[in-house]
Amino acid sequence: MKYLAAYPAALRGQVEQLIAQGRLADLLRGRYGDAHDIRTDRALYDYVSALKNEFLRNAEPLSKVAFDSKLHVIRNALGTHTTVSRVQGSRLKSKREIRVASLFKEVPLEWLRMIVVHELAHIRVREHDKAFYQLCAHMEPAYHQFEFDLRLYLTHLDGGGDRLWAASAAPGLL
Ligand SMILES: [Zn+2]
């Protein structure tokens, strides 16, 4: 239950019970619709830019947004945010990049939104402190629910469960 380590023991116990009863996948599928269709880096860039313009209009522009298949989906590394500063002429220029783990290509839109909101919030707040999560919740009021459910899904995958939103698992093709 490494993805749920930060949650209360009683809650983890409930999750263990759901897994033991084989009900976790159905619970997640019942709570969310189909996978989103943002599959390319270009589409991801547009999606992230729209959210950034809505909430962080005055922040510096993003130089790169991409899915990254090499990102290990471990705690706090669902995405990355980097700022590379370098001197250009007489000015210091910083480049902001956001990378999102490829896993997010095949999930409900709510979870993609959650990770994008997370990485955008880091433009303003570096640490995972109270101010950080307040900003996340401002951008997405259901942020905490989405993060918890995503962690349930990671726990499901970690236990050898199927990718519930993978294209090959899409219903209605027969
Ligand atoms: Zn973070």
Q: Is residue 118 part of a domain?
A: yes
Distance (angstroms) between ligand 1 centre and the Cα of 5 equals: 16
Calpha distance 108→124 (Å, rounded): 26
Q: Is residue 169 part of a domain?
A: no
Q: Is residue 134 part of a domain?
A: yes
Given a cut of 80, whether residue 174 has pLDDT beyond it is: no
Distance (angstroms) between ligand 1 centre and the Cα of 152 equals: 18
For 129-145, the pLDDT digits (tens) are 899 999 999 999 999 99
Calpha distance 170→51 (Å, rounded): 28
pLDDT of residue 75: 47
Domain range enclosing 77: 14-163
Distance (angstroms) between ligand 1 centre and the Cα of 168 equals: 30
Q: For position 104, which CATH number holds?
A: 3.30.2010.10
Distance (angstroms) between ligand 1 centre and the Cα of 173 equals: 37
> In this predicted structure, which of 24-33, 87-96, 101-110, 119-128 has the lowest mean pLDDT?
87-96
Instruction: For residue 34, give the nearest of 97, 105, 108, 102 by alpha carbon.
Output: 108
Q: Is residue 133 part of a domain?
A: yes
